[in-house]
Structure 1
Amino acid sequence: MRKNGPLALLFNALVIAFMLAPLLVVCVVAFTPENTLTLPTSRFSLRWFEAVFAHPDFMQSFWNSLWLALASATLATLLAVPAGMAITRYTFPGRGFLNGLFLSPLIIPHLVLGVALLRLFALVGGTGSFGWLVLAHALIVTPYTLRLVVAALVGFDRSAEQAALSLGASQTQMFTRITLPMILPGVTGGWLLAFINSFDEVTMSIFVTSPSTVTLPVRMYMYATESIDPLMAAVSALMVAVTAFAMIILDRVYGLDRVLVGR
């Protein structure tokens, strides 16, 4: 394999620096003791992190986002596993349509989805309901889970399943004891990726949240329209930390390189 030359390595380093620099700046500013966004700072302080944890609106929004991400990622996984098995293992009329339907939220702008779901929830009387908000988030994160489940099932050696059936195992026993453990890394990776995307979602959530179900990204957007101070940087740093932690787990469980190439 041909190694990258110095120019290619320099270009890659510049791209990485360009992408990470804003995150690093925000994280550094979060530790300033000043009342404004100051960089460089004379000293470091946890003042604004303490302010975040003492702010009831931000804490409530954090818990809303956490429970919403947990619920929507779990629901998306429960939908993606049987759908992925049907798509990869069976040939039936509408198979391509079903696959495209599940993946369509990837190509539809979240702004359009937000307006459409807002109208739908108004018609069915679900406006402001946390349950309907879970369904909305599950809609947009299911494609991520489905892709990893399908990737885990493609090339799956079914000889172990056939052996289990020949020995008298039921379909349920075969799935729980043979199939699921073998595709578990893909299922877990899909759940984590769905969790990350749900936790960070803001565009669609602006339209479908209510005062009692405001998520953390939406709360940050609302706060930023009124004022910009280091409190926003502290909240952003915490969100970066949560997302980075989830990404590290995803890499350990499934591998980020496999997620990026979709196999």
Structure 2
Amino acid sequence: MQKNGPIALIFNALVIIFMLAPLVIVCLVAFTPAETLTLPTTSFSLRWFEQVLHHADFVQSFWNSLGLAVAAASISTALAVPAAIALVRYEIPGRGALQALFLSPLIIPHLVLGVAMLRMFSLVGGQGSFGWLIFAHALVVMPYTMRLVMAALIGFDRSAEQAAYSLGASNAKVFQRITLPMILPGITGGWLLAFINSFDELTMSIFVVSPSTVTLPVRMYMYATESLDPMMAAVSALIVFITLGLMLLLDKVYGLDRILIGKH
């Protein structure tokens, strides 16, 4: 086992470098003053970041993505909490099937979801509606909030709840004063993870956005089909910085190791 230690360490380091190298290169290119994507660069400049901030389409798409992500994460969290409590604590008929249904967006390709959503929206007259776009994103990100809330509930010590019930507390009071505060890290972590995934969602969004509801990833895709200059790298770097900041916050609130290896 010890002989394989250095080899495993080197292999893991190479995998990490392979995964992070494109992100690092994009972030470095974003600071170039040149007109093209060049690396190495002779000097660093914020020129392309300034152009992004003055590009009306990118700014509007950013606000669309921000509002969409906040709404989708909030709705998915509001639905995931009662659903997780029901699945974890009660012997309801078809519990396994319901859990698989709630988590199914994790395994269904987003391309398939996008085509299905496009067809459904055309049938109900919801094409171009920001409300229906929120519904689509909430459906996709709900498994993330669901998984973290369920993990928090599974590792929950119910002795405090039982003591409160024995003292005459109502179900609503017990949930408000005991259950909710104790599972709040899982709820917060699920909300942040849902926000990140909604903000970065591209594949499904391409099918369901309208000219007035274009999200930032879709705008980037459209821009990349027309031209490829350092402004794309600047937008990508901004998304990387935002996602990194949220991931650090998520690690502080809930712990990334608990998400990745399923601890509770």
TM-score, normalization by structure 2: 0.97
Which residue number in structure 2 is paired with residue 33 of structure 1?
33
Q: Offset of 1:187 from its aligned partner?
A: 0.7
**Counterpart of 1:162 in structure 2: which amino acid?**
Q
Q: Offset of 1:158 from its aligned partner?
A: 1.2
Which residue number in structure 2 is paired with residue 200 of structure 1?
200
**Counterpart of 1:240 in structure 2: which amino acid?**
V
**Counterpart of 1:44 in structure 2: which amino acid?**
F
* Separation of aligned partners in 2, 1:65 and 1:183: 28
Q: Offset of 1:173 from its aligned partner?
A: 1.0
* Separation of aligned partners in 2, 1:179 and 1:2: 45
* Separation of aligned partners in 2, 1:4 and 1:76: 44
Which residue number in structure 2 is paired with residue 215 of structure 1?
215
Which residue number in structure 2 is paired with residue 45 of structure 1?
45
The aligned runs of 1:56-135 (5 Å cut-off) are 56-135=56-135
* Separation of aligned partners in 2, 1:3 and 1:147: 38
1:11-38 deviations in Å (ceiling 9; x for gaps): 1111111110000000000000010001
* Separation of aligned partners in 2, 1:216 and 1:53: 13
Q: Offset of 1:112 from its aligned partner?
A: 0.5
Count of residue pairs the alignment pairs up:
263
Which residue number in structure 1 is paired with residue 231 of structure 2?
231
What secondary structure sits across from 2:226 in the alignment?
coil
Which residue number in structure 1 is paired with residue 187 of structure 2?
187
Which residue number in structure 1 is paired with residue 258 of structure 2?
258
The verdict on how the C-alpha distance between 1:111 and 1:166 changes in structure 2, with shifts beyond 3 A counting, is same
What secondary structure sits across from 1:120 in the alignment?
helix
Q: Please say if residues 147 and 262 of structure 1, whose CA atoms lie closer than 8 Å, have aligned partners that are also in contact.
A: no
Which residue number in structure 1 is paired with residue 249 of structure 2?
249
* Separation of aligned partners in 2, 1:122 and 1:44: 48
Q: Offset of 1:166 from its aligned partner?
A: 1.9
Q: Offset of 1:7 from its aligned partner?
A: 1.5
Which residue number in structure 1 is paired with residue 175 of structure 2?
175
Q: Offset of 1:144 from its aligned partner?
A: 0.7
* Separation of aligned partners in 2, 1:42 and 1:115: 45
What secondary structure sits across from 2:135 in the alignment?
helix
Q: Offset of 1:56 from its aligned partner?
A: 0.3
1:67-115 deviations in Å (ceiling 9; x for gaps): 1000000001011100110111011211111101100101111001001
Which residue number in structure 1 is paired with residue 20 of structure 2?
20
* Separation of aligned partners in 1, 2:106 and 2:119: 20
Q: Offset of 1:155 from its aligned partner?
A: 3.2
Q: Please say if residues 69 and 195 of structure 1, whose CA atoms lie closer than 8 Å, have aligned partners that are also in contact.
A: yes
What secondary structure sits across from 2:227 in the alignment?
coil
**Counterpart of 2:208 in structure 1: which amino acid?**
V
**Counterpart of 2:23 in structure 1: which amino acid?**
L
* Separation of aligned partners in 1, 2:94 and 2:121: 28
What secondary structure sits across from 1:5 in the alignment?
helix
Q: Please say if residues 51 and 231 of structure 1, whose CA atoms lie closer than 8 Å, have aligned partners that are also in contact.
A: yes
* Separation of aligned partners in 2, 1:40 and 1:69: 35
The verdict on how the C-alpha distance between 1:245 and 1:7 changes in structure 2, with shifts beyond 3 A counting, is same
Q: Offset of 1:204 from its aligned partner?
A: 0.1
Q: Please say if residues 61 and 219 of structure 1, whose CA atoms lie closer than 8 Å, have aligned partners that are also in contact.
A: yes
* Separation of aligned partners in 2, 1:85 and 1:209: 33
List runs of 5+ in structure 2 lacking aligned partners.
none
* Separation of aligned partners in 1, 2:69 and 2:2: 42
What secondary structure sits across from 1:225 in the alignment?
helix
The verdict on how the C-alpha distance between 1:180 and 1:33 changes in structure 2, with shifts beyond 3 A counting, is same
What secondary structure sits across from 1:160 in the alignment?
helix
* Separation of aligned partners in 1, 2:184 and 2:121: 34
